[in-house]
């Protein structure tokens, strides 16, 4: 039993040694960029410019798709509930 606990403690210590330390190693605080590319932080995002009419069309398309998805989910829910009720009625009759 104690061998398992010792093995667990060894693994915890090994994992702890893999973590980056909190001690500052540079004059500046460079910890924020340990796991990121330096170029990625300076990249600006560009978005496609669309007119108001196209924007309204896109919004309508998204809303109609969401409505269609909601109706589909409700139909599936109703089928499942009706199947469950029918199964329970048959089993407890």
Query: What pLDDT digit, counting tens, does each position of 37-61 carry?
Result: 655 556 678 888 999 999 999 999 9
Summarised one tens digit per residue, pLDDT across range 24-33 is 665 555 555 5
* Average of per-residue pLDDT across 72-76: 98
What are the Cα distances from residue 77, in Å, to 31, 73, 90? Answer: 49, 6, 20
Q: Residue 51 gets which letter from DSSP?
A: -
Tell me the pLDDT band of 73, cut-offs 50, 70 and 90. Answer: very high
**Block residue for tokens 């269609």:** 68
Element containing residue 9 per DSSP (H, E): helix 2-18
Ranges of each domain in the chain: 49-93
pLDDT of residue 13: 87
**The two three-digit tokens of residue 15, written as one number:** 């994992």
pLDDT of residue 39: 56
pTM of the model: 0.46
What residues contact 24, with CB distance under 8 A and at least 6 apart?
Answer: 31
């Amino acid at each position: 039993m104690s061998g398992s606990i010792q093995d667990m403690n060894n693994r915890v210590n090994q994992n702890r040694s893999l973590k980056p330390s909190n001690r500052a190693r540079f004059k500046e605080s460079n910890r924020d960029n340990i796991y990121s590319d330096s170029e990625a932080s300076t990249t600006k995002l560009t978005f496609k410019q669309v007119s108001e009419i196209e924007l309204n069309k896109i919004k309508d398309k998204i809303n109609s798709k969401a409505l269609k998805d909601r109706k589909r989910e409700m139909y599936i829910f109703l089928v499942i509930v009706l199947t469950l009720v029918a199964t329970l009625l048959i089993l407890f009759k």
